[in-house]
With several copies, the nearest count.
Chain A
Amino acid sequence: MYLDPDKRVDLATAASYVHDGHMIALGGGLSARLPMAMVRELIRQGRRDLHVVGSAHSMDVDLLIAAGALAICEESYVGFEQDLGLAPAYRRAAETGTITVKESCCVTILTQLRAAEMGLPFLPVRGIKGTDMRRLHPEYAETTCPFTGEVLVAVPPLKPDVAIIHAPVGDAFGNLFMEQPYVLDEHFAGASNSVIATVEKIVPTEELHDRGVVIPGYFVQAIAEVPFGAHPASCYPSYSYDRAHMSTYVQAAAKPESADGYVADWVNVPGGEDEYRNKVGAESLTRLTQWSESIDQWKGLFS
């Protein structure tokens, strides 16, 4: 439990809590609330050999792989759905063996996080038997129900070293408000040794209370205010996702050289997040915040 009343730090300091070789959990999912600013900062700081666990993700994981920061990927999905297709860097790394793929299932990951949250050394999980998932997970075992005799797969707790969560607003203590879907963020917070949070805006606690605390601050070790910290993912109600930028990334990541180019141009820039935002451009960013003005405007962001 982290009891300091004021945990505000800058992005670089927050990122320093993540060490080489850490097991990390990335908040949000697919195109929503990905902690992209923190991902970029970890790359800037040269983090290596990370082990990422979670459910369905996209550019956050792929960019860490493209930048050579990831050693083990234990997600249930990495990709850009039917719209932009397979995750280029993930695919290449998996096919050439430069990362260890420990693909998992949402239910299994959830169960392993719950084991950590509940302080239990194992939990049974229904499913897995009969599939090939155990070929990727020699660490699973079996357990027999003492009441029914049913044999179930037993999974160990999953305790990430750090959960990295981005939210629209938070307070100095680290209380976080976010909209649904929370995805696994609540469980990441409960299962991890610490949470480092980035938020669009740090507000007084009273304001946060009125909106509703989703992740309590006692799980949070550090909080940094980073506007557009999820870009190019969405962070509702602040902004929608930047489909054009995601598409630019997917095209660049298709080849190692152009992937390096993306990292050089957008991530490893001397001005950090300020420079990133400038490069994306105020006009583009503002457009993403205007999703709520009309259905046509919203829909227009996806055309």
Chain B
Amino acid sequence: MSSYTFDEWYVIRLARTISDREVVFHGFASPCAQVAMHVAKRTHAPNMMLIEGAMYAINPDPPFIPPTSNDSSLKRGAAYSMRFEEFFDAAIRGDVDRMFVSGGQIDMYGNTNVTAVGPLERPKVKLGGGGGGCNISATIKQLTLWTTRHRSGRTIVAECDFITDIGHRTPAGTREELDYTGGGPQCLVSELGVFDYDSQGRMRLQELWPDVTVEQVREATGFEFAVADEVIPVAPPTQAELDVLRAIDPLGVRRGEFDPREMEREFDLVGAGV
């Protein structure tokens, strides 16, 4: 039975946040989400509509995932590519079911910061920026949040220094109070565990990777989070999922998101650490 690495399992878990027949979008600079969408489309969600990152290509069949999001390879096999405005209009009017969102900081309610860490006028770290996430996080039906940097202790924080993309509530109010039609974050997949959000919009631990403890998650998290009555281990990947993943991402662009230490996590097909 072949072994697999953590980045593979992680991307497959991300893929499983997608349901069949959903319209799903990832942004640029998001290789884990990007690869996850192609895995989902080729396994359990054949009828999802995959909107390819910065190309806005519909259901492409790329020969490989390149390390940049608007390479022509990413529209191969797509009968149609949306124009910029077609995609964003669809997202604002509520025709997109799911988007993947990450951030340099993510708070308890799933607000994310991709703008600047530290004071805005003189930031400690100027992040790249949010692309279109600010507006469309308000209206897309469900958000899958992900981070590969939970362990750093600086990512999952009590409060974002700047809210770029909106979660379940911000100091200005809840989604309902802000007239936002999107459902907000449905789950957060980190390299330590998988979380959902309770009825108050607060992050709650649901699943753990087999080589991680609740205590480790607590140490890495900037606030007290709820824990589900029964925390279950993340279900292992299938051989079919692994095959698809390896075929679509031969260059391993997904690995660019991880701290090199995470690459040492290796598993076999029953899901136990080896």
Please list the residues of chain A having a beta carbon within 8 angstroms of any beta carbon in chain B: 1, 3-5, 29-32, 55-56, 75-79, 81-83, 86-87, 90-91, 94-97, 101, 103, 105-108, 110, 114, 116-120, 125-133, 135-136, 150-151, 171, 173, 175, 179-184, 186-187, 190, 205, 208-209, 213, 216-218, 234, 236-237, 240-241, 243, 291, 295, 298-299, 302-303
Please list the residues of chain B having a beta carbon within 8 angstroms of any beta carbon in chain A: 21, 23, 28-31, 47-49, 54-58, 63-64, 66-73, 75, 79-86, 88-95, 115-116, 120-139, 162-166, 170, 172-173, 178-180, 250-251, 253, 256-257
Q: Which residues of A contact B127 (CB under 8 A)?
A: 86
The CA-CA distance from A120 to B179 in the complex, in Å, is 12
The CA-CA distance from A129 to B130 in the complex, in Å, is 15
A132 touches B164 (CB 8 A): yes
5 contacts between A and B (CB under 8 A): A3-B23, A76-B130, A136-B120, A180-B75, A302-B67
A78 touches B71 (CB 8 A): no
Q: Which residues of A contact B85 (CB under 8 A)?
A: 110, 114, 187
Q: Which residues of B contact A205 (CB under 8 A)?
A: 79
B126 touches A94 (CB 8 A): yes
Looking at chain B's contact residues, is the secondary structure mostly helix, strand, loop, or mixed?
A: loop
Q: Which residues of A contact B131 (CB under 8 A)?
A: 55-56, 76-77, 105-106
A236 touches B72 (CB 8 A): yes
Chain A residue at smallest Cβ distance from B21: A3
Q: A107-B92, A298-B63 are in contact. Are A78 and B135 (CB under 8 A)?
A: no
The CA-CA distance from A184 to B115 in the complex, in Å, is 21
Chain B residue at smallest Cβ distance from A114: B85
Q: Which residues of B contact A136 (CB under 8 A)?
A: 120
Q: Which residues of B contact A5 (CB under 8 A)?
A: 47
The CA-CA distance from A65 to B134 in the complex, in Å, is 25
Q: A76-B131, A95-B123, A97-B122 are in contact. Are A119 and B139 (CB under 8 A)?
A: yes
A234 touches B126 (CB 8 A): no
Residue in contact with B82 in the complex, picked from A90, A116, A216, CB distance below 8 Å: A216
B89 touches A87 (CB 8 A): no
